[in-house]
Structure 1
Amino acid sequence: MAVVTIRQLLDSGVHFGHQTRRWNPKVKRFILTERSGIHIIDLQQSLSYIDKAYEYVRETVAHGGTVLFVGTKKQAQEVIAEQATRVGQPYVNQRWLGGLLTNFSTVSKRLARMKELEELDFDNPADSGFTKKELLLKKRELDKLHKSLGGIRNLQKTPSAIWVVDAKREHLAIDEAKKLGIPVIGILDTNADPDEFQFPIPGNDDAIRSVGLLTRIIADAAAEGLIQRHQPSDESADAEPLADWERELLETPVVTDVAEVETIATESAADAAGAEAKAEGDAAATAAE
């Protein structure tokens, strides 16, 4: 069964690029045409690249690897947390912490500190050995750590790969991954540089439905990899054993088909609506500049 269909990509607006004047010439080979000043991405190529990324993520997780989901822009935060959590993978959906990958030893110490603070009983100052004021400060510290590190609490070493929603916004994450030789999988919009990815997926990295669909596909690949890792075989004999939380995941049925999205009345109407939304985003970006 196909991972996703052209219709699903179309309905989610994956084909809408940026305004033609905001493009990166390196993506020319992924562009099908131009309509109303908006580049239209070739979804046939997107399908091919989705299959490659899906296969890579599935095999990576099947052999004991992890995929770090990264998406800090507003329209990606919720789906990044939701899909990564669904398949037990780490994620960053708030501000990227410099050195998260390249200085992981320091990050590990902060994770240990977070877990240490979680052991405190903030509701019983008398039993904690701290004053109310001290507990208040520690609670604030814990809240701050939860916000910045909560998504990677189970990350014990640098990830095997990272999934990135917006290459331009997450350039710090990509730079660190490149320094460590960690493969980058992500959405390649028409304003991005394809050289930043090992596994690019040509598509719209701004629309919520597009980001949600593509992130879910990657999560489904990770879920399938977990199941494959659990199945005994000679090839998987050397894979790392499943952690307790991974075993719990396997008890929950995995959805491998991408959810159907609401059918659009006409494709011309979809093109017009998507192009208009994309143009508004580009206009806002221009104003900000």
Structure 2
Amino acid sequence: MSKTQFNDLLEAGAHFGHLKRKWNPNMAPYIFMERNGIHIIDLHKTVVKLDEAASAMKQIAKSGRKILFVATKKQAKDIVAEKVQATGMPFVTERWSGGMLTNFPTIRRAVKRMNSLAKMEKDGTFDHISKRERLQISRQRAKMEKTLGSIADLNRLPAAMFVVDIQKENIAVAEARRLNIPVFAIVDTNSNPNLVDYAIPANDDAAKSIAVILDTVTGSIKEGLNERKAEREKEGPAKEKKQAKKQDTKAKKSSARKEPAKAEPEAQAKPQEPKAEVKENTEATKETKDKNTEQEQKS
């Protein structure tokens, strides 16, 4: 995994924080100094935290789970949509609908409704309804596509969430914390890093700063997905061999069970014959003994 370069963050202005009077005391460990009333973030710590978050997100992507990206502020929404779309991960850039995680079944029903409206346009049902109904349906679909289109493939709750500006996306962070979903976030000097699991101290207002951090994060996700794909390709032939071995062992066991079942009647028939002969011999000896005793009594 390619590590973040200190100079890239410096050139992007990731070290500029907010005004001193707006700072959050919990960000003190990540602040390097104050200049002209503005806090300067320690980029050495930013590099460490970013690499740590990127490696954790790589493992999540490698396991085949989803990471939901949330960024609705103007500086970040276009950057997130462009960079995250290439990874195939879900994202929210328009508006966070309350209950998107805590009331996930309702959101899934809305997504299904959106997909059904899309099918209506394709299968020709629009031709059999009035123009007014057609306009209403198309407007409804466009509205749903704007807010839910990017999470249409999210069939279950995400394994993690990445947030730009946790103060603006406080509802999303609260829902994730309630469901024990790990939160990765770009945290500025006016935010509380204790609210998230993986805090990346950096400027969350500059577009360049957000772009550099997202390049590192999405790059690690792509690496995880590629490793998962390579492992699956290797496991494919191995799984086929295992299945073939299992089928062979099952066939051998079934044939072994059938053979003794056929041989049992023959094995039972053979020992029964000498038993009958033994019984006849014992009866004959008894008869001879009885005759001898009768003769002795007569004499």
Same fold, judged at TM 0.5 (above): yes
Give the Å deviation of 1:128: 3.3
Tell me whether 196-205 or 210-219 shows the greater mean CA deviation: 210-219
Cα distance in 2 for partners of 1:128, 1:121 equals 9
Cα distance in 1 for partners of 2:181, 2:97 equals 17
TM-score between the two structures when normalised by the length of structure 2: 0.76
TM-score between the two structures when normalised by the length of structure 1: 0.78
Query: 1:208-247 counterparts in 2 under 5 A?
Result: 208-232=207-231
Aligned to 2:243: none
1:67 aligns with 2:74: no
Tell me the alpha carbon deviations over residues 19-46 of structure 1, each in whole angstroms, 9 at most, x when there is no partner: 0110000000100001111100000000
Residue 23 to residue 103, structure 1, CA distance change in 2 (3 Å): same
Residue 149 to residue 54, structure 1, CA distance change in 2 (3 Å): same
Cα distance in 1 for partners of 2:85, 2:211 equals 14
- After TM superposition, the runs of 4+ consecutive aligned structure 1 residues lying more than 3 A away are 122-125, 233-237
Give the Å deviation of 1:129: 2.1
Residue type at the aligned position of 1:131: S
Tell me the alpha carbon deviations over residues 241-273 of structure 1, each in whole angstroms, 9 at most, x when there is no partner: xxxxxxxxxxxxxxxxxxxxxxxxxxxxxxxxx
Aligned to 1:139: 138
Query: 1:90-129 counterparts in 2 under 5 A?
Result: 90-121=90-121, 128-129=127-128
Give the Å deviation of 1:122: 7.6
Residue 3 to residue 128, structure 1, CA distance change in 2 (3 Å): farther
Cα distance in 1 for partners of 2:186, 2:108 equals 29
Aligned to 2:175: 176
Residue type at the aligned position of 1:197: V
Instruction: Give 1 or 2: higher helix fraction.
Output: 2
Query: 1:187-206 counterparts in 2 under 5 A?
Result: 187-206=186-205
Aligned to 2:267: none
Aligned to 2:281: none
Cα distance in 1 for partners of 2:161, 2:186 equals 12
Aligned to 2:43: 43
Cα distance in 2 for partners of 1:138, 1:36 equals 55
Identity score, percent: 38
Contact conserved, 1:87 with 1:223, CA < 8 A, in 2? yes
Query: 1:243-282 counterparts in 2 under 5 A?
Result: none
Residue type at the aligned position of 1:17: G
Contact conserved, 1:67 with 1:163, CA < 8 A, in 2? yes
Residue 96 to residue 217, structure 1, CA distance change in 2 (3 Å): same
Give the Å deviation of 1:6: 0.6
Cα distance in 1 for partners of 2:151, 2:83 equals 14
Give the Å deviation of 1:121: 2.5
Contact conserved, 1:120 with 1:128, CA < 8 A, in 2? no
Cα distance in 2 for partners of 1:24, 1:64 equals 36
Give the Å deviation of 1:216: 2.1
Residue 120 to residue 53, structure 1, CA distance change in 2 (3 Å): same
Aligned to 1:30: 30
Name the SS of the counterpart of 1:120 in structure 2.
Answer: helix
Cα distance in 1 for partners of 2:181, 2:119 equals 33
Aligned to 2:52: 52
Contact conserved, 1:70 with 1:162, CA < 8 A, in 2? yes
Tell me the alpha carbon deviations over residues 180-225 of structure 1, each in whole angstroms, 9 at most, x when there is no partner: 0000001010000011110010100000101111122211111111
Give the Å deviation of 1:232: 1.6
Aligned to 1:82: 82
Name the SS of the counterpart of 1:155 in structure 2.
Answer: coil
Tell me the alpha carbon deviations over residues 116-142 of structure 1, each in whole angstroms, 9 at most, x when there is no partner: 0111228967x6321111010000000
Contact conserved, 1:19 with 1:37, CA < 8 A, in 2? yes
Give the Å deviation of 1:151: 1.0
Cα distance in 2 for partners of 1:236, 1:103 equals 37
Aligned to 1:253: none
* Higher relative contact order, structure no. (Cα contacts within 8 Å, ≥ 6 residues apart): 1
Give the Å deviation of 1:233: 7.0
Contact conserved, 1:111 with 1:153, CA < 8 A, in 2? yes
Cα distance in 1 for partners of 2:5, 2:24 equals 27
Cα distance in 2 for partners of 1:13, 1:50 equals 15
